[in-house]
Structure 1
Amino acid sequence: MSDKNGDFGAFVSGFLIGGLVGAAVALLFAPQSGEETRTLIYDKGIELKDQAEDIIDDTRARAEELAKEAKTKAEDLQKRGQELFDDQKKKITKAVDSGKKTVKKKKDDTAKK
């Protein structure tokens, strides 16, 4: 699971860096006036900031969803583990009681002889 999160983080970083580099190259080689270039850089910066915020919001929502799923699964595993423990405890108690009865019966039979 941590590999998937790491891969996603690398993807987001690569996406943002690639977007910035692509925008910078496009603006530097485009034949425009300085004012137009500054406006484009500003607009692209706002656009990239908005995209980054969207990605962060999506990532946060996904992380919260995964945390809820993990908590639910952990609770289910704990419940199943407790049920298995209780079942085994009953079986062992029953076996011990049976063993005690057998020992008592053998002891009583031996005492009668």
Structure 2
Amino acid sequence: MSDNNSDFGAFVSGFLIGGLVGAAVSLLFAPQSGEETRTLIYDKGIELKDQAGGVMDDTRARAEDLAKEAKLMAEDLQKRGKGFVDDQKKKSTKAADPEKKETKKKKDDTAKK
């Protein structure tokens, strides 16, 4: 599960860095005036901000889903563990009953003598 998270984080980082590098290269090689370049930089900045916001929303939703899934898995594991412990208690009590009876009988016999 952690490998998927690190792969996803690497993808997001690469996506954002690639977007910034691509925008910078396109601006540097574009034949236009300073005012047009500033407007383009501003527009690209807004576009990248929106994309980053979308990626953050997706990441947050994915993290929430993973947290819910982990919680459900933990609850299931807790229930299974409790069931196992209860079963073992019953088995040990059942196995100890004959020994308890034998011990009580010997104690009673000893007390009578």
Correspondence for 2:89: 89
TM-superposed deviation, 1:3: 2.2
Correspondence for 1:12: 12
TM-score (norm 2): 0.87
TM-superposed deviation, 1:90: 0.3
Correspondence for 1:33: 33
Instruction: Determine if the alignment matches structure 1 residue 74 to structure 2 residue 60.
Output: no
Could you report, residue by residue, the CA deviation over 1:9-64 in whole angstroms, capped at 9, with x for unpaired residues? 11111111111111110111011111111111110000000000000011001101
* Cα distance in 2 between the residues matched to 1:8 and 1:74: 24
Amino acid of the residue matched to residue 63 of structure 1?
A
CA RMSD after TM alignment: 1.8
Structure 1 runs not aligned, ≥5 long: none
Q: Percent of aligned pairs with the same residue?
A: 79
Instruction: Determine if the alignment matches structure 1 residue 49 to structure 2 residue 49.
Output: yes
Structure 2 runs not aligned, ≥5 long: none
* Cα distance in 2 between the residues matched to 1:34 and 1:12: 31
Amino acid of the residue matched to residue 33 of structure 1?
S
Amino acid of the residue matched to residue 89 of structure 2?
K
**Number of positions where the alignment pairs a residue of Structure 1 with one of Structure 2:** 109
Amino acid of the residue matched to residue 43 of structure 1?
D
TM-score (norm 1): 0.87
